[in-house]
Amino acid sequence: MNHYIRRSGSSIELSMALIFTSYYGLVKILINILTHFGFDGDSKTFIIGLLKKYSKTINSTINLTYLVRWMGLFKLFKKILFKN
22: left (phi over 0), alpha (psi -120 to 50) or beta: beta
Which pLDDT score, from 0 to 100, does residue 81 have? 72
CA–CA distance, 41 with 72 (Å, rounded to integer): 20
Domain range for 24: 2-81
Which pLDDT score, from 0 to 100, does residue 14 have? 60
How many domains does the structure of the chain reveal?
1
Q: What's the predicted TM-score (pTM) here?
A: 0.26
* CA angle centred on 69, ends 65 and 20, rounded to 5°: 35
35-to-64, 66, 76 alpha-carbon distances in Å: 22, 23, 13
Question: How do the pLDDT tens digits run along the chain, 84 residues long?
Answer: 444 444 555 566 666 666 656 566 667 777 777 666 556 566 566 666 666 666 655 555 555 666 666 667 666 766 777 764
Which pLDDT score, from 0 to 100, does residue 5 have? 47
